[in-house]
Structure 1
Amino acid sequence: MFVAVNIAVFIVVMYVNDCPKKTRGLEGSCVAKFLHRFSFQPLKENPLFGPSSDTLEKMGALERNKVVHGHQGWRLVSCIWLHAGVIHVLTNVLSLIFIGIRLEQEFGFVRVGIIYLVSGFGGSILSALFIQQNISVGASGALFGLLGAMLSELLTNWTIYANKIAALFTLVIIIAINLAVGLLPHVDNFAHIGGFISGFLLGFVLLLRPQFGWAENRHSPADARVKSKHKAYQYVFLLAAAVLLIVGFTLGLVTLFKGKSGSDHCSWCHYLNCVPTSRWKCQN
């Protein structure tokens, strides 16, 4: 369902963008003109084969000033469904299929959907706290939330897995590589980090499994049953994660709508979003 929504929203955005009308008489021409009003902005303007930044802003891209001073908090959610171009939307859709199908098969659409949406929202909050000038769009924060949930699900259900060390190592490597890519310019790594943390905590709350043997033995005689459906450490993780989620989202939203910047409290955090080199500069 989320795959279809992301694609449908992108089509609507391209319809609204109407490149031929906007570029008429201007330098540069639309890409794929045979698509008429669905054609893409000139590659010099948008190399991802997509709409203009003005269109994205109009349709609900995340922009700190509009959220904080324009009282447009809805952008914290709307930006999750927007994408900068065909390459962007295809990358996210394929990632969603790859990550989401496995989780949905095991835990159902509702729980995975909650993680996806709340993680995207969490990513938007952290992004708005630290990125002052640029607009931000995309479902990457929500996708990182699913990765975070996969990690916490593995940890909280540790005792029921075989080859758990190999699974943990593989998952950590995948997460690390994706976060490292976020250090490149023009990538909103704060959304990735915020989404990952949100999903990681939500996984402890929503993705608990009964301990090994509980389902099979619950109708057995009392002395042969597994006494508890879940282990004590699972409840500890759940409670701690729930508290951290509530506190984190509350502090984040209060700080944001007071107009404060995350950089005021963390002078080095901008390096989490982009690391400057001799080849590129970073701008937050």
Structure 2
Amino acid sequence: MAGEDIESRGVEKNNYSSADAFEEGENQWASWLIPVFVVANVAMFLVVMYVNNCPRDFKNRGWSLLGHNDKCAARFLGRFSFQPLRENPLFGPSSATLEKLGALNWNKVVHRHQGWRLISCIWLHAGIIHLIANMMSLVFIGVRLEQQFGFVRVGVIYLLSGFGGSILSSLFIQNQISVGASGSLFGLLGAMLSELITNWSIYTNKIVALSTLLFIVLVNLAVGILPHVDNFAHIGGFLAGILLGFVLLPRPQFGWIERHNLPVGVRAKSKYKGYQYVLWLVSLILLIVGFMVGLVMLFRGVNGYERCRWCRYVSCVPTSKWECDEP
């Protein structure tokens, strides 16, 4: 009986999976970068509203004879008050202010060599509603990822996904400005999806986790077909995030983690499984090629709609309720 007890305990120990190990240690990182990103976005919005100064703009444009609905919203905020809701229903600044402070503008990126706008635009938001929605999503998605994988990898995914979203957006949206952290947020979602795939064997409720994540992604992409929503930034960030997740977020095998406890003469497993190495290499190549091709096309002034006519429906589907802006 004693021998059976020892054997059963040994079997239980051997069945202790890497998922259990990571579940115990998933909070080993304190999340500080994501809160810093939230503070930076909020601070940047305040700067934008300070520069916008709707009352001064109102006076300079001679709107004193216009109706009440054409006046600054929340005028008690002074220079931080919002543009008239007919101009900006998201309670935010004017498009001219956003463009002045770094919004994505195809003409200025390509013809005036202001490539920095591909990054600066992800720190700007069109209004307080836009800001709150994105920051809530960032906290919900980003904090846990940072706790599991650390600030370096999550920070890289956030910035490069936003950059990738800006590139794809610029290739298609060339007559309007674009702002927002949505590309970065979709990048974090994409990284979560690829992390689930590349570490598939360590998860217990695989199908539930995959179905939930895919549902969230599809719902958010579906929202992107509404007018005035930059779905190309969402898609570009999502694709970059998936590839970055395969490159930066694979977890070692449990046998490799426990290599120090192995008896003498027993060979430890390799750090990663074979398919993880394949996904890492393929994703890295696609990531480099994708960024290079996208940048070359962008700075050559390529119009994405000329190469893909049906792509106009990716960002906006016209209905009887609304019309889409012509590309």
TM-score (norm 2): 0.85
Amino acid of the structure 2 residue aligned with 1:22: D
Contact 2:48 2:101 in 1 (8 A): yes
1:213 to partner: Cα distance: 3.4
Relative to the length of structure 1, the TM-score reads: 0.98
CA distance in 2, matches of 1:246, 1:275: 31
CA RMSD of aligned residues (A): 1.1
Match of 1:20 in 2: 55
Give the residue type in structure 1 aligned to 2:257.
Answer: A
Q: For residue 121 of structure 2, what is the amino acid of its counterpart?
A: C
Q: 2:98 aligns with which of 22, 39, 56?
A: 56
SS of the aligned residue for 1:99 comes to: helix
Of residues 191, 210, 213, the one that matches 1:168 is 210
Task: Compare 11-20 and 212-221 and name the one that shifted more.
Answer: 212-221
Q: Can you list the C-alpha shifts for 1:6-59, whole angstroms capped at 9, x where unaligned?
A: 001000000000011000131321111121111111111111110001000101
The residue correspondences of 1:33-48 to structure 2 (distance < 5 A) are 33-48=75-90
Structure of greater Rg: 2
- What's the offset of the Cα at 1:212? 2.7
Q: Which runs of 4+ in 1 moved over 4 A?
A: 222-225
Distance 1:110 1:87 in 2: 29
One-letter amino acid of the counterpart of residue 37, structure 2: F
Matched, 1:2 2:62: no
Contact 2:262/2:268 (<8 A) preserved: no
Contact 2:255 2:269 in 1 (8 A): no
Partner of 2:308 in structure 1?
A: 266
Cα deviation code 1:191-215 (max 9, x no counterpart):
0000000000000000111113321
Q: Work out the CA distance in 2 between the residues paired with 1:273 and 1:29.
A: 31
Conserved? CA contact 1:218–1:225, under 8 Å: no
Q: What's the CA shift for 1:77?
A: 0.6
8 Å contact kept, 1:119–1:145: yes
Identity %: 69
Contact kept, 8 Å, 1:118 with 1:142, in 2: the verdict is: yes
What's the counterpart of residue 320 of structure 2?
278
Which residue identity lines up with residue 44 of structure 2 in the other structure? V
1:210 matched to 2:245? The reply is no
Mapped to 1, the partners of 2:281 and 2:139 lie a distance apart of 30
Structure 2 counterparts to residues 139-218 of structure 1, below 5 A: 139-218=181-260
Other structure's SS at 1:66 match: helix
CA distance in 2 between counterparts of 1:61 and 1:33 reads: 25
| Matched residue SS, 2:177 | coil
- Per the TM alignment, residue 282 of structure 1 is displaced from its structure 2 partner at its CA by 1.0
Segments of 5+ residues of structure 2 without an aligned counterpart are 1-35
User: Matches of 1:113 and 1:33 in 2, distance apart?
Assistant: 37
Instruction: Compute the displacement of 1:225 (Å).
Output: 5.0
Secondary structure at the aligned position of 1:51 is classed as: coil
Shift of the alpha carbon at 1:223?
A: 4.9
Q: Give yes or no for contact 1:9–1:82 (8 Å, CA) kept in 2.
A: yes
The match for 1:244 is 286
Q: 2:171 aligns with which of 129, 132, 152?
A: 129
1:264 is displaced (CA, Å) by 1.7
Matched, 1:11 2:59: no
Residue identity opposite 2:294 in structure 1: G
In 2, Cα distance between equivalents of 1:222 and 1:240: 36
Tell me, which stretches of 5 or more residues in structure 1 are unaligned? none
